Amino acid sequence: MNVTMESFKVNLPKEFLPVIQTMEGSDVDAKVRVSLAIGLFAEKQVTLARAATLAEMPLAAFIDVLRSKNLPWLEYTEDHLKEDQKAIHDILKEEEK
């Protein structure tokens, strides 16, 4: 995925390098991008689609990375359940007519 974004540099202590080298990605920049995107998504700071864009990965590939780390990528909330129950109720009510 080739996305043109402005960039900035960050200086990190060399102690980070052994850890960064074990992460997903083709080079250090890619590995840090993926890690930051995962963190932003996990903290609900960005959407799944935005996190994939920030990681410069196709959505499906980013989902695979989340799955490989046992991180939930789809959240089914109590509100979703209530909406689904109401929709089912409405459909059944329509069928009774």
Write the single-letter amino acid at 5: M
For residue 60 the two structure tokens come to: 């499906």
According to DSSP H, which parts of the chain are helical? 17-21, 28-42, 48-54, 59-68, 78-96
Model pLDDT, residue 3:
54
Contact between residue 53 and residue 40 where contact means Cβ atoms under 8 Å apart: no
Given this model, what pLDDT does residue 25 score? Answer: 73
Instruction: Give the whole-angstrom CA distance, residue 50 versus residue 55.
Output: 9
- Alpha carbon 4 to its chain centroid, in Å, reads 19
pLDDT in tens, 4-53: 778 888 888 999 889 888 886 788 888 999 999 999 999 989 999 999 99
pLDDT at 1 > cutoff 60: no
Neighbours of 47 (CB within 10 A): 11
Q: What is the mean pLDDT of residues 82-95?
A: 84
